[in-house]
Amino acid sequence: MLEWYVGRLLLGLWVSCFSLYVHAAVSLLGPNEPVSNVFKQANQIHRDADHSQTEIKGLEASPNNELGVGERLLSRLSWPNQALNDSAIVLKAEDYHVRYSDLQQSIQYFHPESLWYGYPQARNTRDQLQWMLLEFSLAGGPKQLSDWLAQINAINNDNPQWEALYTDAFLGLMAFCQQLMRLDYAQSMALNNITSTPLMLLIDEPWLAHLSRADLYQQLSSMRGELNIERLRYRQQILHWLNVQQQRKQQVHIASGPLLSLNSRDWRVPLIRQRLAEFDIANQFADLQLDTMDADTVSALKRFQAQHGLKADGIVGSDTLYWLNFKPVNRSKMLARNLLRKQLLERFMLSSNQQRIMVNVPAYQMTYLDKDSEVFQSKVVVGRASRATPLLVSEISSVVINPYWNVPRTIVRKDIIPKLRRDPAYVDQQRFELFDYQGQAVPSEQIDWTLVKDTGAFPYRMRQRPGPGNALGAYKFHFDNQFAVYLHDTSSPELFSEQQRAFSSGCVRVEAADYLADTLLKQAGYSEQYKQRLIAKGDPKWVPLKQKVPVYLVYFTSWFDGGGGLHYRKDIYNFSSLDSSLAS
């Protein structure tokens, strides 16, 4: 236990120093200064051992051109520690097997001088490469990326003889990023098969001819994305959890058992207190070995629950245990994966982005933004795993007041027909209408529902009339998409009281649907009185918006809120089930 205390002390000091460094950097900002000024004032110059080389033209050795706060901390990590077998790591540069041999020869032809050694910014460029290998490996990239990282971690990286290793890793990163750029929107959000991405690289001779030391750094920066405060926060947390993983002698699982609440005594309480202290260094407990749930532990537990989307009741149940037992390395993977999602999302942001709606599916949350400022949030209900809400980007073009619900064929077959076989009156009770495919109404009493199968073709279209009990409620928010999904109101508001809200068949139910309708209609020039008259009339009415509002169905299982607080959510659609090569 003494070893654990010493480890915790060292970890706490390390994280505290890093946190203070970031805080000091942020504090340097004036009230109207851009975030980028953090790096101009907080970064330090790190030069190579070879000080005799002149600086690169156009890349002066000034703080604003150096890497950001915390970049250098990576060199203190020996991670991944099990990515390669010992036999796969070579200790002599001449034994390294070059992967991109032809491209390496071309680069040497055009650039006989070293790209990775012998000039003031070379060490920072190598550090940047190392960071990108770490982030992409943790995010689930191909095993070759973590192999390169392990090899780099095993060598004296100040030795110029390792030029070919760094060039190979750089070309591999370029190949991976080229493949990422081919992903569509849904693939960019899911990231569920990037482990098998082939590292095939397409570059032309003019690019090789113009490659320079300065371009090398810029290429890495473009692969990395903007180095802003949010990325630094992600990196801080990635490093924190990798260090926690290394500090632990073994992964002790907190067993399930009776619910634990204030004043409960249990052998698991010291382990719970330890995990809470790892999660937030602000959680300092007078006695880690106390086996009673005291007020400090319950208070820390409530904060922990809130950050994981759980009911903050201070009671340890199965959902809380899930997150207390979540492996530190898997938190690092989650953070890296979501950092990559955020970077890829930028490619799909629409030009009409003054106002936009973000629906974060695993968070069960919708956010309405106006020029990056939050206007309001709402709870939402999303699709269950078997009928997942599709990840897409579109634009809301109309608000439908008193909508019909055109029942999807899947719901008709799987949900409604079995009920109709038991009770044919269900059609009239739920105010459904039936039509043949010529558009003619079909009375439900003419159909023998006992003969209708819930598989194969169903010969009718079914819709539900507007009004009480309509599944869409009073509003539907229409946006074009191939999946026939939309945002809408609901006749089952009780589901919003649940913490986990994956209940729908794909569409997104919005708790604040009335407020969303008010906001969109007001922008389009419609009055509240106009809306109320339409609702009272009871007839369906499509109200077009003068300016479409972009809507993004995103998939972030971790994110920072406006105050810098970090949140985690379950991967409800199991997109990350294929672990990367850093899986523990």
Which residue numbers are catalytic? 488, 507
What CA–CA distance (Å, rounded) separates 171 from 177? 10
Helix (H) and strand (E) counts in the chain: 19, 14
Helix/strand/coil for 45: coil
Residue 339 in tokens: 């950092």
Distances (CA, A) of 404 to 291, 419, 520, 532: 58, 21, 20, 18
Distances (CA, A) of 118 to 47, 49, 92, 96, 160: 10, 8, 20, 21, 8
What CA–CA distance (Å, rounded) separates 125 from 133? 13
Peptide bond before 258: cis, by omega within 30 degrees of 0? no
Half-sphere exposure of 46 (CA within 13 A, CB side): 18
Name every residue whose Cβ is closer than 8 Å to that of residue 528 and which is 6 or more positions away in sequence: 518, 522
What CA–CA distance (Å, rounded) separates 180 from 222? 13
Distances (CA, A) of 533 to 200, 375, 470, 476: 61, 26, 19, 17
| Residues paired with 479 in a beta bridge | 396
Within 10 angstroms of residue 226's Cβ, the number of other Cβ atoms is: 13
Question: Do residues 391 and 361 touch, judged by C-beta distance below 8 A?
Answer: yes
Name every residue whose Cβ is closer than 8 Å to that of residue 480 and which is 6 or more positions away in sequence: 394, 395, 397
Question: Do residues 327 and 584 touch, judged by C-beta distance below 8 A?
Answer: yes
Half-sphere exposure of 397 (CA within 13 A, CB side): 5
Q: In what order do the strands lie in the sheet with 432-435?
A: 405-406, 461-464, 432-435
What CA–CA distance (Å, rounded) separates 295 from 278? 18
**The dihedral of CA 522, 525, 529, 532: what is its sign?**
negative
DSSP string, 407-463: --HHHIIIIIHHHHHH-TTHHHHTTEEEE-TTS-B--GGGS-GGG--SSS--SSEEE
Name every residue whose Cβ is closer than 8 Å to that of residue 375 and which is 6 or more positions away in sequence: 355, 368, 369, 519
Half-sphere exposure of 126 (CA within 13 A, CB side): 28
Name every residue whose Cβ is closer than 8 Å to that of residue 284 and which is 6 or more positions away in sequence: 277
| Residues paired with 405 in a beta bridge | 464
